[in-house]
Chain A
Amino acid sequence: MSDEQAANGKPADPMEAFRDMRDNYLDAWAKAMVQTVNTDAYARTSGTVLDTYLSASSPFREAVEKAMLRVLEQLSMPSRADFVALADRVTNIEMHLDDMDAKLDRIEKLLTKPATAASSRNPRSTEPSRQKKQKAKGAK
């Protein structure tokens, strides 16, 4: 047990030297790999691998898609395209609802602000003043 370890009260770890060696090796390897992946050769290789995979899998993918479409038709079930079209329509409705929400917010703001201002100036008056009308027009 070294003095330092004795002072810390920790037992000596026989694996520590191995771990240090391992970490040094991994550090060097990591740096080399970072440089390797940032090369044209790596980019070209990974691009070719991806391209080959896409080309090889394309006929199977298309066959499965066509077969699935036929099965769904036979079963009178909606296809992916039907769901996509439906999702488009729902999102469109959501956007219209959001537009209406925005308009309602604006109207509410126009209605509440002048009323608050009027009640603070003349609590009895309920008629909008010229200034308030102009403000409302400006906001529109």
Chain B
Amino acid sequence: MPEAAVLTDPFTDMVGKLTTFNKALTTKTPIAQTPKELVWALNKAKLYRYIPVVPKEKRHPVPLLLVFALMSRPSILDLRPGHSFVEYMVNSGYDLYLLDWGVPGPEDKNLKFDDYCLDYLPRAIRKMKAVSGVEEFSMLGWCIGAILSTIYSCLRPDDGLRNLILLTAPLDFSNKENITFARWTDERYFDIDKLLAAFGNMPGEMIDYGARALKPVENYIVNYLKLWDNIENPQVIEAWQAMNTWVTDNIPMTGGTFRQLIVDLYRNDRLMRGEMMIRGERVDLSRLRANLLTVIAEGDHITPPCQSKAILSKVGSKDKELFSVPGGHIGIMAGSGANKRTWPKIDSWLAGRSK
């Protein structure tokens, strides 16, 4: 009956949209699919080498090591085929390595920056050099990974680091008014001892809540409205689902590291003031001599731009550059414009320095 069909059509349409919406919300999509091989492992940390697709004679001789944050999966660097920084760099001829810190358990609650920077990173780098057969290397650190890379570069300036790329690096904590996390974790309001006594490690769900609560309307409402508005666009749904798969896969941060992050950095700004001690060694930023590219996200609410600028005046590098990109903390590397702005810039900057 034609009348009945007219009446039920909007409902059928709505059911279809709701089904797609529910599926997008609840289904994990495959991410991090660029082929790679495991070359080293220690505790939960793993070093992967991406299988090169460019012949050896056409590859850049200096390998590149990716160091991501501790409390999120590094799969954001290799989100989905056709939209992956890893894939882009492998196709551009880099011998690419990824250090995946893994998921810390209760047994790792005492791990600190000291352990990551002086036990894990140097060992992974040694293995990378052995596998690639090259003594010099480049390193890209993102977010907390940028803190680890910076500390390592200052403490081990003669380890062969030629190029250092810092993405949205939270290094300068002096401007507390503009850093919401600094306000939240102020010692007047935030009892870190009590929290870590209860949980051991900083739970991933709490870190996720903190990141989302910085922009609550965008993260809790607009994000889902965007999906609903584009529910009939498979490309948007695919991109949204991939990002949602990554965002909802939270991992804890070791208690020791979280305490250092809050006490040494957010509260006392020890790295910039030259007072940060790692296993009895002072982290002196002027000892960082590698070529340096600092990438800033102009709309970053997690690491406001003011946190990443001051490093340039403190390091000993002669070749240093600041690159400012419109976008947010994650968007500059995983957003739709990343392959037009951030990735080509990193590639062009690095290519000239990887000969």
Contact = CB atoms under 8 A, between A and B. Distances in A.
B partners with A:
yes
Interface of A: 19, 22, 26, 29-30, 33-34, 37-40, 42-44, 46-48, 50-51, 54-55, 57-58, 61, 80, 83-84, 87-88, 91, 94-95, 98, 101-102, 105
B194 A51 contact: yes
Interface string B153-187: 00000000000000000000000000010011010
A121 to B, nearest CB: 22
B122 to A, nearest CB: 10
21 contacts: A22-B225, A26-B217, A26-B221, A29-B217, A30-B215, A30-B217, A33-B217, A37-B216, A38-B183, A40-B183, A43-B186, A43-B190, A46-B213, A51-B191, A57-B198, A80-B106, A91-B43, A94-B43, A95-B119, A95-B123, A101-B127
A37 B189 contact: no
User: Ordered nearest first, which 10 A-B pairs have the shortest CB separation?
Assistant: A47-B189, A87-B107, A30-B217, A84-B107, A38-B180, A91-B43, A43-B189, A43-B183, A43-B184, A105-B130
A34 B301 contact: yes
B189 A46 contact: yes
Nearest to B108: A87
B218 interface: yes
Contact of B42 (A47, A58, A61, A91): A91
Given A87-B107, A94-B42, A95-B42, A34 B214 contact: yes
Contacts of A33: 215-217
Contacts of A101: 127
B209 to A, nearest CB: 10
Contacts of B301: 34
Interface in B109-161: 119, 123, 126-127, 130
A44 B188 CA distance: 8
A40 B301 CA distance: 17
Interface string B320-335: 0000000000000000
